[in-house]
Amino acid sequence: MVGVPVFLDCDPGHDDALAMLLAIASPEVEIAGISTVAGTAGVEATTRHALQVVELAGRPDIPVASGCGRPLVRDPVPVGELATAGMLTDLGLPEPRHGAVEPHAVELLARSVREHRDRLTVVCTAPLTNIALFLRMHPRLADRVHRLVLMGGSATLGNVTPSAEFNIWSDPEAAKIVLGSGLDITMAGLDVTFRAQILPDEAESLRTAGRCGEFVADILATVAARHSHYSNRPGTPLHDAVAVAEVLWPDLVEKVKCNVAVETGSALTFGRTVVDRWGVTTLERNVAYSANVDRDRFVERFVERVRRLP
């Protein structure tokens, strides 16, 4: 059986690498392409890391295209301690045998939408710059996208400011374009992804599961301390992998249809996603917002899929 065609838009980063590996290991989906964007690092670095991850997983045939190197409107900003892309370099990923494909990421996405008309699901685990530019450059293709599943935003607290999540905050103008596009959008924000924590013993069990399993165990051990000040739980959140899991196993994620808007004017709440979960406004319910995840089943399936990789 041929899997559901998906297109991954990412900025690897450890979280994106885990999401990529989960998608590659899952027969429910067929990866049509991967695009990269500046986010956790510059686009040159995120592109290289994406190429290294597909090489590690034995799938260098998956086309990887480099995308936008800066936000749509504002100047790039330092990402500070959330810039986890550097740890991928430290973990010794293999040298890629192939480079990025020639089309810009936006054009690779457009080509994939045409090839998989009305069937392509776009999974975005990065700032939404590439997606917004695609919508501006190819408006007639928007209604051919089956759906968009993204990791980003929060209905409560942020992780880069007190009120904003990193992916949305990095390019809020792009996020505003995407959320107002009329696409069928599912959002996995920090409220749900912090619930999707893999415990130390579960992560360590992957160390004997081949080169990919050892790589995942190394990532999770390295990043665990970075999350200690966000939560008193012992586990490590699998943030971006939740977006992939929503495509693979939608029954694991509880969703609420509501309006989500992005703040771009306030100095205090710049980049915040305003989630009208309780329907206190009459605004269009433009997003299926993820409210909860079955952690145990999700982690069990994540571990099982990583074990399938070489």
> In 3D, which of 45, 58, 51, 52 has the Cα closest to residue 84?
45
> What is the residue whose two structure tokens read 């665990």?
224
Q: In what order do the strands lie in the sheet with 29-36?
A: 64-66, 29-36, 4-10, 121-124, 147-151, 185-188, 287-293, 253-262, 273-276
Strands 236-237 and 197-198: antiparallel
At residue 127's C-alpha, the angle toward residues 157 and 280, to 5°, is 45
Active site includes 239? yes
What is the Cα–Cα distance from 183 to 286, expressed in whole angstroms?
8
- The full length of the chain comes to 310
CA dist., res. 251 & res. 37, Å (int):
30
Active-site residue (options: 14, 104, 116, 239): 239
In terms of Cα–Cα distance, which of 28, 5, 37 is closest to 305? 28
CA dihedral 272→255→140→137, nearest 10 degrees, is: 30
CB 72 within 8 A of CB 173: yes
- The upper half-sphere exposure of residue 298, i.e. CA atoms within 13 Å in the direction of its Cβ, equals 29
**CB atoms inside a 10 Å sphere around CB 300:** 12
Distance CA 227, CA 81 (A): 11
* Residue reference for tokens 């559901």: 4
Q: Looking at the annotation, which residues are catalytic?
A: 239
